[in-house]
Structures are given as structure tokens and as C-alpha cells.
Chain A
Amino acid sequence: MDKVDVIIVGGGLAGLSCSYELADSGMTVIVLERGDFSGSKNVTGGRIYLNPLRNYLPDLWKEAPLERHVTKELITLLSETNSTTLELYSDRFNHLPYPSYTILRAKFDRWFADLLSEKGIFVIPQKNVNDLIQEGGKVIGVKTEDEEIGADCVVAADGILSFLSEKAGLRKPFQPQHFALGFKEVIALDSKVIEDRFRLGEKEGAAQLFLGTLTKGVMGGGFLYTNQESLSLGIVVGIQSLNQREPREEVYKFLDEFKERPEIKNLIRGGETVEYSAHLISEGGIHIKPKVFGDGILLVGDAAGLGLNMLVTVRGMEYAMASGVLAGRTIKMAKEKNDFSASSLSHYEKLLSESFIMKEMSNYQHTLSILENQRLFTKYPQAISDLFEKIMTVDGNPKEGLYKMISRELKKEFFNFQTFKDWLEFRKI
């Protein structure tokens, strides 16, 4: 059996970041990627926040093929017949270094893998890993379809479905309430058209979230991100909530109906759908985090359950990259001691706890219970847009005084015990 120092299974953001950290360590590191190239099996909404990553990967961003830096944040409450949009522009979003960018993973991950090849890391494509090789409970290598490769340490960066963490006995069986499905279309559109429609400067981007009837009472929402020459338009739905929805309806139809809304139709007009994709999102947060280390094995990124729904944004890519770097640092330390036992690799858990990742996962640990509240996706978006519509409407009848109208509507829709209880819940995040 051939042997290397480190095998990283999965050439996505977590795996590549881990190998990047190990690039100058003198260790032999290989990354096994199941797709034709890194990024070919990866999907994001999406947008990446760079500020949390600047300390971990300071030199990566100058040449990185990111799409647009986000200068505009929009939140739209959508109901059957109307919608209200809150739009935030800030100079802060438009000053270097830019806080966040829209991103397409097939492009970004592929570039990242090529960069690593220049640094002497082998990212081997079309290489599925079928199993771990274990000896007395210690992981000593992996089995691919045609060979066995040994290693001092295996890094499971094999994504949200992580079959390796299951085989290592590190995670519990999946439950529908802890996962959401995200699916989207990439719609090609001329960059000038994008800038005009969203009122953006050159290379500036917008990120828009949608909450309301588009998910038909199912926990979730919609998203729209402007890429350089395309829009990423999609929907996220909680799987348990979808399972329980009555009457039953195929989820893929949600996106088609969403695209027919005037709010969306006019934004994508003339655009051509160039890809349809789907991916799972971990929403269990801290409650389902597996054990992230074992004898000879570390879990990073989605495989380590590092994903979070923060209500106004879904996080995962920054956690993947930072956890990859922290795993790399742990491996370098273990190499110095030549000790890859669980107790030596437990240092990784400590590094994770001290990082922004576990702090955020702890701060947002109640989000899921709040998201289970159906009124968030039905009643409130509708009530807010209806009130706004009443304020703006001039019909044949004499217009009622604003104060009188607003206080009556607020009393009717919001000043009740149910809303009070929802508010108390909401204060947890």
C-alpha cells in the first residue's frame, strides 16, 4: 500500500484550504476529488464573506475569481399580491477591502485547486473514496475504487453527506429537521443590464432575500445574487417542513412560480437559464455537530456539520475554509510530535471552539426553533405588505387619517398574545 502523510478527501473549500495550510510544511499531501475538477460538484447560493477569513487566508483574495462585491442588501417580504422591499446601501460595503462577494463555485474552486498544484499539492480529480481503512479503531488510510492509500492522517472534507464521518462512527444518522434543500437557476444576463436593473456601479453587486408566500408556508425563503454576467436565483426549504406540508406539492414548482412573480419576472427578463443545480444545507447548527476528530482523522467544513442558518443569511463557506486551515495547523503540530492519535488531534476541537465559527454557532443556536414558526413565512410578510399597501392606496373613498389607520391595523395584526409570544421567542437571536 502506498503511503503519504495526509490524504484530504474532497477538493471543495474545506479540503483545499486545509491543503493550502499544509503546502509549505514539507509533508506529502494529496487531495482526492470525485468530480472532473474541483468545484464541479459544488453549489452555493451564493455569497462569501471575506472579513472572517482574512486572518486565516490573507494572501488568497487578490487574484481570486470572485463575481461582484455586494454593495446592496435587499430583503423582500412577498405575499400573494404584493411585496415590500427594504433596501440597504452602505459606503462601507463599497470600500476596499470589500466585506463580501458573490461567487460561483465551479469557477472559484477550480482556480483554487490550480493554485495549489503550483504549490506542489496534488489535487487528483475523478477519485471517489469508498471507504476508510481502519486498524484497531485507528484510521490508517482510504480505499478508492481501484487502490488503497495509507496516511498518517485522513481529513474528511467530503461535504454535507460525509459518508466518511459515518464510517468513522463520528456522526449520528441524518434527520430531516436538521437539513434544508437549496436549489437555483443561474440565469445569464449582460453585465450592463444587471447593473442597470439593480442600479449598481461597475462590478458592484446586490444580494436579495425573499420571505413569504414563495415557499407556501414551508420554512425557507428565496435568494437572488448578482454575478458578473448572471443571476443566481433560487429557493431554500426545510426538509421536515416540506415533508409536513399539506396539500402536497412538488418542490421544484416553487421556483417556477417564483420566477413568474412580477417582482422577479422583470429582473430576469431576456435572461437565459444556463444551469439548474441543488445542494443540501446544514441547519442543525451546534445541535448536530459530530465529533470532529478521531484516531488519525479530522472532519472539516460541511462534513463537520459547520453550517448555520442566521435567518438573514446562510453561512457555510467561511466555516469550511477556516476549519480547513485550523485542521491544517493541527496536523502540522501533530507531525512535530509524530502523534496522530485522537488525543493529539483533539487540539483541532480547541482551535474551533476559540474561533468565530463555534462562537457564531453558539450565538445562533436558537434560530432553528424560531424558523419552525410558520407565521414567519406566512402571516407576517403578508401583514406588513398589506399595511404598507393600505397606507399608499388612494381609492374612491375619502382617505382615512394615517395615524388612525396605522394604529387600527397594528392592533388587528400585531397587538395580540400570539405576536407577543413570537416576539419573546425572536429575542433569543
Chain B
Amino acid sequence: MKITEKLAIDAFKNDKETHITLDQKICKNCKERFCIYACPANLYSLNEKGEMVVEFAGCLECGTCQIACIYNSVQWKYPRSGFGVQYRFG
């Protein structure tokens, strides 16, 4: 089962604006890319320009990226009221 298929099962109410922002100046100098390996939803990747991007829409709201990124590039806050993942089992 692909990770995108797993995320498709979950209930999300997606906001237009992101709740995760990255500091590209920090990301540019990062060699380890901790976020890519630690995100359980596989939301981090490098775009064609080689910049780190995060697909906030499938976020499980665990906050792991914020802690795994020891360079403090990840600014993470809760999605606005009424948005984000809605667990039905938990």
C-alpha cells in the first residue's frame, strides 16, 4: 500500500494557507535532510530547483519534522480552527 493511498483514507479538511513554513536559507545549507526521512506522511521533497518543499495538505499533525530539523528551519503551528486532519479512530 502506497503512502499516498494511506493518506487518502484519512479525513482531511484542507486550508488554503499552509501551517508549515520553511526557511529556504537554512534548507539550502542542509546536507542531512532530516525532514525527508522523519516525516511519517512523506510530505517533504526537493523540487526541480533543488529547494525543500512540504506538502502541508496531508499533514498528520505529529510535529516530528519540527523536532527532527535540528537547524530550526521548520516553523510549525497548528492548522487554523476547523482545518487539518480529523481522526475517526485515533
Contacts and interface: CB of A to CB of B under 8 A. Distances in A.
B41 A278 contact: yes
A181 B38 contact: yes
Interface in A250-298: 250-252, 256, 273-280
A269 to B, nearest CB: 14
Contacts of A251: 37-40
B21 to A, nearest CB: 15
Given A276-B6, A276-B9, A278-B41, A106 B62 contact: no
A278 B60 contact: yes
A248 interface: yes
Contact of A248 (B6, B13, B37, B62): B37
B14 interface: no
Interface stretch (A34-42, A198-206, A305-313): A34-42
Contacts of B70: 176, 243
Interface string A24-61: 00000000001110011111100000000000000000
Contacts of A144: 81
Contacts of A278: 40-41, 60-62, 64
Given A36-B82, A242-B68, A278-B40, A106 B6 contact: no
Contacts, number: 134
B42 A252 contact: yes
A67 to B, nearest CB: 10
Interface in A296-344: none
A104 interface: yes
B65 to A, nearest CB: 10
Contact of B60 (A35, A39, A277): A277
B38 A243 contact: yes
Contact of B63 (A104, A126, A161, A256): A161
A116 interface: no
B89 A280 contact: no
B82 A250 contact: no
Nearest to A160: B63
B6 A280 contact: no
Interface in B24-68: 32-34, 36-42, 60-64, 66-68
B23 interface: no
B87 A145 contact: no
B90 A43 contact: yes
A279 B62 contact: yes
Nearest to B64: A181
A252 B67 contact: no
B68 A239 contact: yes
B6 A185 contact: yes
Nearest to B36: A250
A276 B63 contact: no
B51 to A, nearest CB: 19
A67 B37 CA distance: 33
Contact of B37 (A34, A107, A249): A249
A42 to B, nearest CB: 5
A144 B80 CA distance: 10
A186 B88 CA distance: 10
18 contacts: A40-B90, A41-B84, A41-B85, A43-B62, A43-B90, A44-B90, A104-B89, A128-B81, A239-B68, A243-B32, A256-B1, A274-B88, A275-B9, A276-B9, A277-B89, A278-B61, A280-B62, A280-B67
Interface of A: 34-36, 39-44, 104-107, 109, 126-128, 144-145, 160-161, 163, 174-176, 179, 181, 183, 185-186, 230, 239, 242-243, 245, 248-252, 256, 273-280
Given A106-B90, A275-B88, 4 more contacts: A40-B88, A44-B90, A251-B39, A277-B10
Interface of B: 1, 3, 6-7, 9-10, 13, 32-34, 36-42, 60-64, 66-68, 70, 76-78, 80-82, 84-90
Which 5 residue pairs across A and B have the least CB separation, nearest first? A105-B90, A106-B90, A278-B62, A276-B6, A183-B40
